[in-house]
Amino acid sequence: MRADDIVVVITAAVAIAWVNWYFFVAADRRADERASEQHDSATRG
Amino acid sequence: MNARVSSMTARLAANDDAPVVRVDIPVSGMTCAACQARVQRTLVRQPGVRDAAVNLMTRTASVTYDPTEASPQVFVDAIRTTGYGADLPLDLSILEEQEAADRAYAEEYRALATKAGVTLVAGLVAMIVSMPLMAPAGHEGMPATSDPFMRWVSGSLAPVVKRALPWLYSADPHALSFALLGMTVAIMVWSGRAFYARAWAAFRHHAADMNTLIAVGTGAAFLFSFAATVAPSFFVARGVAADTYYEAVIFIIALVLVGNALETRAKRQTAASLRGLANLQPKTARIERTGGEVDVPVEDVRQGDLVSVRPGERLPVDGEIVAGSSAVDESMLTGESRPVVRSGGDRVIGGTINTTGAFRYRATTLGADSVLARIVRLMREAQGTRAPVQRLADRVSAVFVPIVISLAIATFAIWYVAADTAPAVRAFAAAVAVLVIACPCAMGLAVPTAVMVATGKGAELGLLIKGGEALQRAGSLDTVVLDKTGTVTEGRPAVTDVVSYDPHRTDVELLELAAAVERRSEHPLAAAIVTSAGDRGSTLGAAESFQSYPGRGVTGLVGGISVAAGNPRLMAEWAVDTSAASADVQRLAAESKTIVLVATDGRLAGLVAIADPIKAGSRDAVSALRRMGLDIVLLTGDSEAVAKSVARAVGIDRVVAGVLPEGKVAEVRRLQEQLRVVAMVGDGVNDAPALAQADLGIAIGSGTDVAIEASDVTLVRGDLRGVAQAVGLSRRTMRTMKQNLFWAFVYNVVGIPIAAGLLYPIAGILLSPILASAAMALSSVSVLSNSLRLRRYDPRAV
């Protein structure tokens, strides 16, 4: 394996991890925050 | 029904008495289930929103909200930030709204078709211009392309182009590259802007949809080409050919636009039945005002106005005939092919055609309450509802895009490591092809297009089907419970036999005498006698000294003759000898008929037999349902003898008689406990609880009834054969949905690995991004065409 192969593979692994984090984990967290904000404003209102 | 449920949930969710309001906002630019889901999520997240439902087919977002916390303008702004278009709703009638939606579809189609056409031409030009730039086979150590499409292009087209445009091959390659770059930027900005805007808006909301795939795919190809154009030496120094993909970027955008344009056109076609209905209403009405008849716009007709209609004209509004009679063609609303005779007192429906006679009628329901407007509204609601099978497609779409992006990255890495020559180029082309081929449009269209075409086809046949869920349940039925009165039978008692025992009096004269005394009674049997006498031309007035004996009969004086009409108990009280009638009474009672004995001046004069006649189509309907493998049960509150004789006449084996409305519910529930999927068919009034309990409630209504709103399916024509047609249509629709979903899944399951280059080691086949985008457009179009086949459904085949 060439050195640039290793760089590409590691970059790809990081990119895949980031895509899945961004669209699944972070998206869920954001949805939860929104829901609790809405809940707060509803209970305050 | 959905709207009602959602507003009910809205009130529950509010958990107090805060008022909620519903607004329908027109949304443009949505192309697939992922778009729809994103707009819906955005709306639900707005403060004050209790519920939001986005309808891809009618392109509206129905938002239920607390007006003290939010306003329609807020929703419009929120939708716009997601990259879709939205406008404040106009104050239009449902018919005008349908016309407006239609115009919007037409405009969108024109815009998309223009962009697609121009972009396709630009793609062709770009392909020709980039030919001199393509590395020839084996040139500078580069291998021949593995893409069958590109191989064909360079093998068969390049020599032709070289001969036709020799100057192109002698031009400076750098100048050509820069020309292509300029052209690509122009196309990306002019025709591809919407994809990038929506993809960016989605990305900011941690969401991804088909626009993301297109934007990432074309964006990556563009950036690679851009770098190869401005700094080719960087690539060459690393042993990578400075290839450009401009033609691929333009072609991908062009083919996606072609797909979108075809989709818009097909959606417009699937809405054709709605458009047909909306166009039924004439624009003006001829009404009587002081000083004669005047033509006024149909909006200016008031309740109670007298409307006059001439032969061949369309009725402008609903109403009740006051003078004249005519045969009215109601086929467009009821599916009934023959014109129906309507005369004084009969209800007529706006949008139907008066054939031969002329009549005047009083306007009753107008505007949004009219039958036509209600049917159009109901259909619009139904066409956008989601079939449960849709949830599968939604779940897949939601996780699909990030997975595809991950796959594309993995494809790149694997190709980069595995390829011997030009690894970066090959890895790049494969990754872009994966992104492009995976667009989930076909999956998003699989179910809603089938629902839309099927409900439209249903409406043409006089079957109002309330959306996807009703269709899906109708398709999986195994038991049909029929109410007797009004469903299998006419529901209106009618005179079947008249027997006179007085040689000086004909049957008709006897009937006239009975009608004269019964005229003042309110009993349903009396109404049957009076109607029958009227039909036979009776002109006798009402009796004098009328007296009613509840549960027994009536008496009165007709032209000096004392007449009694009633059951044997009344005759016994009046000391009438009925022995002459006993044979007839026995025979008719065995046929489950009700008998009214008639006596004149204390002597038996004759009898009138009354029964509820079986509807013309009932027998055919039952045999059609049996052929479809359905179990049929006759359910009635009537006595066992009556029920059995009706069941025998139409060919039903299972009878449950003598049940009250609660008993009907219990019977339906009992069948459901045996794991049967039960449809209840009733006239919608006393059967309402059983209709609700059943898996599928089918109301037999004239189409003017409130029953429309209580059932899952309404048979506008009131003919039981509609049940078999509805089941047949639903089964076909379910089959179509499953085929659509299957092909959409298979397409992705097969397409992605090919795009990733799985076939390359085996067969040497690699897909270019251009071929991938063509395949993607083709899959959407094939799903749409499959749904449109439902328009050819022939009910006579059931």
pLDDT tens column, B348-366: 888 888 887 888 999 988 8
State residue B5's pLDDT score: 32
Q: Which of B39-48, B88-97, B218-227, B449-458 has the lowest mean pLDDT?
A: B88-97
Q: Residue B728 and residue B658: Cα distance in Å, rounded?
A: 31
Phi, psi of B567 (to 5 degrees): -90, 175
The CA distance from B207 to the nearest CA of chain A, in Å, is: 6
Nearest alpha carbon to residue B44 among A35, A37, A40: A35
Chain B within 8 Å of A7 (Cβ-Cβ)?
Answer: no
Q: Is the confidence at residue B579, as pLDDT, over 50?
A: yes
Q: List, for residues B522-566, the tens digit of each pLDDT value.
A: 777 888 888 888 888 777 677 888 888 877 889 998 888 899 999
Q: Is the confidence at residue B9, as pLDDT, over 50?
A: no
State residue B747's pLDDT score: 83
Partner-chain residue, chosen from A5, A19, A45, that has the shortest CB–CB distance to B416:
A5
Q: Residue B702 and residue B346: Cα distance in Å, rounded?
A: 12
Quote the tokens at residue B38: 């994103």
Chain B CA closest to residue A5: B417
Strand order in the sheet with B292-297: B292-297, B284-289, B306-309, B359-363, B319-324, B347-348
More confident residue, B726 or B313: B726
CB-CB neighbours of B77 under 10 Å: 12
How do beta strands B561-566 and B463-465 pair?
unpaired
Average pLDDT over residues B258-276: 70
Q: Which residues of B touch A27 (CB under 8 A)?
A: 206-207
SS3 state of residue B549: strand
Q: Residue B669 and residue B295: Cα distance in Å, rounded?
A: 55
Q: Is the confidence at residue B4, as pLDDT, over 90?
A: no
Average pLDDT over residues B371-375: 76
Chain A CA closest to residue B412: A12
State residue B140's pLDDT score: 45
Strand order in the sheet with B654-656: B463-465, B713-715, B696-700, B678-682, B479-483, B631-635, B654-656
Q: Does the distance separating the beta carbons of A5 and B206 come in below 8 Å?
A: no
Q: Give catalytic residues of B, as residue numbers.
A: 483
ipTM passes above 0.90: no
Burial class, B546, CB count within 10 angstroms (exposed 0-12 / middle 13-18 / buried 19+): middle
The CA distance from B472 to the nearest CA of chain A, in Å, is: 32
Partner-chain residue, chosen from B47, B401, B412, that has the shortest CB–CB distance to A12:
B412
State residue B284's pLDDT score: 86
State residue B185's pLDDT score: 97
Chain B within 8 Å of A39 (Cβ-Cβ)?
Answer: no
Could you tell me the pLDDT band of residue B719, with boundaries at 50, 70 and 90?
A: confident
Q: Which residues of A touch B413 (CB under 8 A)?
A: 8-9, 11-13
Tell me the torsion sign for CA atoms B426, B431, B436, B437.
Answer: positive
DSSP 8-class letter at B796:
G
Amino acid letter for position B786: N
Share the mean pLDDT of chain B.
81
Q: Is the confidence at residue B235, as pLDDT, over 90?
A: no
State residue B3's pLDDT score: 36
Q: Which residues of A touch B401 (CB under 8 A)?
A: 23
Decide: B610 and B493 in contact? Cβ < 8 Å: yes
What are the C-alpha distances in Å from B3 to residues A35, B454, B458, B705, B709?
24, 20, 21, 19, 11
State residue B776's pLDDT score: 74
Could you tell me the pLDDT band of residue B732, with boundaries at 50, 70 and 90?
A: very high
Decide: B48 and B90 in contact? Cβ < 8 Å: no
Among residues of chain B, what percentage have pLDDT more than 70? Answer: 86
State residue B621's pLDDT score: 93
Q: Does the distance separating the beta carbons of A38 and B417 come in below 8 Å?
A: no
Q: List, for residues B141-158, the tens digit of each pLDDT value.
A: 444 455 566 667 777 777
Chain A within 8 Å of B13 (Cβ-Cβ)?
Answer: no
Q: Does the distance separating the beta carbons of B410 and A1 come in below 8 Å?
A: no
Q: Does the distance separating the beta carbons of A27 and B413 come in below 8 Å?
A: no
Average pLDDT over residues B637-661: 84
Q: Residue B222 and residue B244: Cα distance in Å, rounded?
A: 8
Is pTM beyond 0.80? Reply is: no
Decide: B416 and B423 in contact? Cβ < 8 Å: yes
Amino acid letter for position B641: A
Residue tagged 């730039």 (tokens): B133
Q: Is the confidence at residue B677, as pLDDT, over 90?
A: yes
What are the C-alpha distances in Å from B140 to residues B204, B240, B375, B720?
44, 10, 70, 77
State residue B391's pLDDT score: 66
Q: Could you tell me which residues are beta bridge partners of residue B348? A: B319
Average pLDDT over residues B655-678: 86
Task: Write down how long chain B is.
Answer: 798
More confident residue, B592 or A16: A16
Chain A CA closest to residue B399: A24
What are the C-alpha distances in Å from B776 to residues B254, B257, B747?
12, 11, 9
Decide: B722 and B620 in contact? Cβ < 8 Å: no
Q: Is the confidence at residue B744, as pLDDT, over 70?
A: yes
